[in-house]
Structure formats: structure tokens, C-alpha cells
Amino acid sequence: MRDLSPTSSIFGTIPEAPPDAILGLNTQYRSDPSPNKVNLGVGAYRTADGQPYVLPVVRRVEQALADDPSTTHEYLPQDGLKEFCNLSASLILGAHSPAFADRRSVTVQALSGTGALRVGFTFVARFLSPQTAVYIPKPSWSNHKNVVVQSGLPPAKEYRYFDYGTGAVDINGMVEDLTAAPAGSIVVLHGCAHNPTGADPSHEQWERVLQVVQEGGLVPFFDNAYQGFASGSLEEDAWSVRRFVDAGIDMLVGQSYAKNMGLYGERVGALTVVSSEGGNNEAILSQLKAIIRAMYSNPPKHGAMVAAAILGHAGMFAEWEEELRKMADRIRDMRQKLRGALVKNGTPGNWDHIVNQIGMFSFTGLTAAQVELMKNKYHIYMTSNGRISMAGLTEDTVEYVADAMKDAVVSLKKGVIHNM
């Protein structure tokens, strides 16, 4: 018989999960008492003073919602706020997308970008096959692997993506690996601002990826967590997704408003399923709703109302675009300053990749050992693959960080990018 004494809980033997590669850093950072500590781990925008940023246009919409007596806290349907879904699909696919004209797309609100992936992969496991192979770039955002497995799919396989020799996309390796993937496999593609490398395919390189996808019968899952952050233009950053839609590919598209509207904790995102032929939208929508119903019933309302208000109003949309450009500019400015400080302090190696990469992150090329030294000796936190959030740097910290990098590079020698 089971021992029911108070010391033998049925939960007592559950092993502790390893800390999350990114979120675990935050916990360490918070408990570090050093006055010099710098958090370059998590990808959240910070102002020039290192503070969290609420976009003024977001603040205004929130105030208006709070003051509006017709604002309620009623449930949304499983697929979320209809207006938000339509506007969100237009933002990524383009208002005049052929997918709308032919009724080839279905969009549901999701719990930010992660939620879009989670619902999307569950849909894949249920309606493609629970054995569907998923290919993610090597390296990729560390949570991709977790979401794939938790959605009931086999562990993700990796395709070559980054050339450590040149610091650019290894397009030949990528094409070769995707050519070998079985038809019907899902291929996760970062729509823009690849995390963690900051290296995106050129338009010509995207054409080669499209060709492999078409010829091999692969199903892309575009993950768009940074629309507007790569180039500063929402249109340009949607180019890859739109190109694939125009080519008539069956695909899934995830979106997040965490970074580009600064709505991190509100969990605002969307999942769009695009079919090569129309005609089955109602069935697809019904199944997505059934998945959501059992997972969390329906999504939160506040953030979706804020995003919909901005997306649906020309004046506020223009203001948002301006804000986005400013955020992207500050990040670019920090890239220049960090590279400048590394050159000035004589850190061995070539640091051009810091300014050539795009998006929120820089993939510095520091090794895991160098990252450890930066943390233990200087209280500077970054992921163990040497990725730093450029938005976490400020005028006040950039030289301190550059000097610490010099120490790490000089005392522990070579980084992982060959020209360092």
C-alpha cells in the first residue's frame, strides 16, 4: 500500500528542471548585488537610461480604454479579437495579399509569439502527423526546441544556418540540409532579424530557400518576433513572408507584438495558417479554436485591444512606425558605439560583425568560457552562446562592457567567429 505519511508526497521525487537558458539569466542578474551589473540577456528594449519603455501611443490608447465606459472585461472568443486578427494578418501579409483575395488564410489571436508557435505546432502534430519532422536553424532561439517537443512532436532537427567563418548566413549549407529534409517536414524560418545571429538571408538567398521549400514539399513556419526591428520598416521586414505567400506555399506564420509595440507582458500575438488553395478555412479555424479551448480557453483582451486600436488608425499607426524607427536607430547607434569602443581599447580581432548584424541582438562570437568570465568578474550577463541584447546597452555602460570583452578575449583567446 502507498505510504501516506506526510513525508512521502507523490510529488516529492519530481526532479528539478534545468533553468531556462534565457530567463534563468534574469534571476541570476536580479540577485547579483553588484552596482556595476549589466543585463544583456533578455531581449527587451531599454531606453538610453536603461529603463523599460512604454510607447507613448500605447500609453494613450490604454488611457482612452480605461476612460471609456463601454470597455468591459468580457471573454473574447477562442480565436480572439476579430478586428485584431484581421489587422495583424494585414500587417504581415500586406493589405492586398492574394491570400485574402482567395480566402486562403485563417488567423487566430495567440499568446504572443511563443503562443503562436505552441498552437501552431499542436495543430501540426494533430493534423499533419505527430511524427512530423521539424527543422530549426542552428543556432536558433533556445525556446524553439522546447515548444516543438511540448507540442507532441519529435525533437527538432537542425539545419545549418550560420557560417562562423564569415559571420553571415551559410546559404549553401542551409539549402543542402533542407534539400535532404523529407517532404511534409516543417521548416522554422525567422522572418527577419534572426535570433541569435542577427544574420538574415538576402532577397536572392530567400529565393533559393523558397525553391528548396517548393521542390521538396516543405512547410515553412515563419516566426516573426521582430517585424520592424530589423530594418526599422514594417514592410521590408515582412518581405520574406510575403514572397512565400505570393508563391502559393502552404505555411504557418507566427507574430508577436512583444518587441515592436513593447507589449511584452501582455502576450499579444497571432497565428496565421496560409493554404495554397482556399476552401477549407472554416474547418481550419474550427480546429484551431478547439486546440485553444482546451489549452487556455480564450486569449487575454487588453493587449489585443491596444494593438488593434493602433493598427487600425492611420495616425496612430504612423506614430508607432516613428517610434519603431527610433528604437531601431538607438540599437544601431549602440552597435556603432560598442564596435567603436572595442576598436579604441584595442581588443584583438575584427568587430565589424557587430555593426553588420541586424535586429535586437549581437552574436558577439564570445565563447561560453568568455561569457562566464564576463559574468563572474564584471557582472555582465549574456546568454552562453555570446548573444547580447543591444537594447540593454547604454552610453554609460558601453565602455565598461567593451573593456570587459577585451579582458575576456585577451585572457581566454579566440572567440567562435573566426575573424576575431
Binding site for ligand PLP (CB under 6 A): 43, 112-114, 141, 190, 195, 223, 225, 256, 258, 269
State which H helix or E strand residue 271 sits in.
Answer: strand 268-274
8 Å CB contact between 234 and 327: no
- Given 200, 239, 250, 259, the catalytic residue: 259
Active site residue 82: no
The catalytically annotated residue of 79, 170, 223, 237 is 223
Known catalytic residue: 102? no
Question: For residue 229, what is the DSSP state?
Answer: T
CB of 298 to ligand PLP, least distance (A): 18
Helix (H) or strand (E) holding 61: helix 56-67
Of 134 and 408, the one with the shorter C-beta distance to ligand PLP is 134
Active site annotation includes 138 = no
Q: Which of 325, 313, 326 is nearest to 228 (CA)?
A: 325
Q: Output 117 or 218, the one with its CB closest to ligand PLP.
A: 117
Nearer residue to ligand PLP within complex by CB, 21 or 343: 21
Question: Please, what is the minimum distance in Å from the beta carbon of residue 49 to ligand PLP?
Answer: 23
β strands within 113-267, DSSP E: 134-138, 157-160, 162-163, 168-169, 186-190, 219-224, 251-256
Rounded to whole angstroms, the Cα distance separating 241 from 192 reads 9
Nearer to ligand PLP, 25 or 404 (CB): 25
**Nearest approach, Cβ of 165 to ligand PLP (angstroms)?**
24
Q: Which of 141, 206, 320, 351 is flagged as catalytic?
A: 141
Tell me how far, at minimum, the Cβ of 349 lies from ligand PLP, in Å.
Answer: 26
The rounded distance, in Å, linking the Cα atoms of 251 and 245 is 8
Tell me how far, at minimum, the Cβ of 220 lies from ligand PLP, in Å: 14
Query: How far is it, in rounded angstroms, from Cα 256 to Cα 28?
Result: 26
Query: Given the complex with ligand PLP, which of 229 and 378 has the nearer CB atom?
Result: 229
Q: How far is CA 351 from CA 33, 113, 166, 368, in A?
A: 31, 31, 12, 18
What is the set of active-site residues? Answer: 141, 223, 259
